[in-house]
Amino acid sequence: MRQLLTVLSAVVLLAYPFAIYFGLERFGTSLVGIVLIFALGVRLFSVQRSKLKELKSVAQASALVGITLVGLSVWFKQHGWMMFYPVVVNACMLALFATSLKQPQTIIERLARLQEPNLPESGVVYTRQVTAIWCAFFTINGLIALYTCFQPLEVWTLYNGLISYLLAGSLFAIEWIVRQFIRKDH
């Protein structure tokens, strides 16, 4: 049952912009807010098993802020508060990745070592570069997400519910392809 709730909350949170866009018109701020608070609450408690404490902290922080933003939307009966959640997620991810650049192992290196414990020095350098690229991505994506908060709901939904996911997926795919070429050369 717990796994089912975790999966359902992940689906709801991935569809967060569409839940707001389609849900507000049909069900209103209160009902959409209750569903989102529930999904964020499940997310808050489901990350307890995360192997990386930093990922757990980011997920918990973004869930708590999300619950607060959605709660403010419900309280004031204004959906605008909900629109800032993608900004919060980008800020939390930026904080996670940026702070890891100051540590001996970046978050990307730690994730890479889960699959390849004896990561060579060239892999360490590469993961540091990839971490910096993701920092740039989260900065730019977060700023665009912030900009869309002051645009019509349709623009906000299009960017935060589709374009930003496509951009993140593209960056992930490009990095994977580059990594395959780099591994071949070494």
Model-wide pTM > 0.85: yes
Domain ranges (residues) in the chain: 2-185
Q: What is the tens place of the pLDDT at every residue in 96-131?
A: 999 999 999 999 999 888 888 898 898 899 999 999
Give residue 99's pLDDT.
Answer: 95
Give residue 26's pLDDT.
Answer: 93
Kindly write down the DSSP assignment for every residue of 58-111, as one continuous string. HHHHHHHHHHHHHHHHHHHT-GGGGGGHHHHHHHHHHHHHHHHTTSSS-HHHHH
Alpha-carbon gap, residue 148 to 64, rounded angstroms: 22
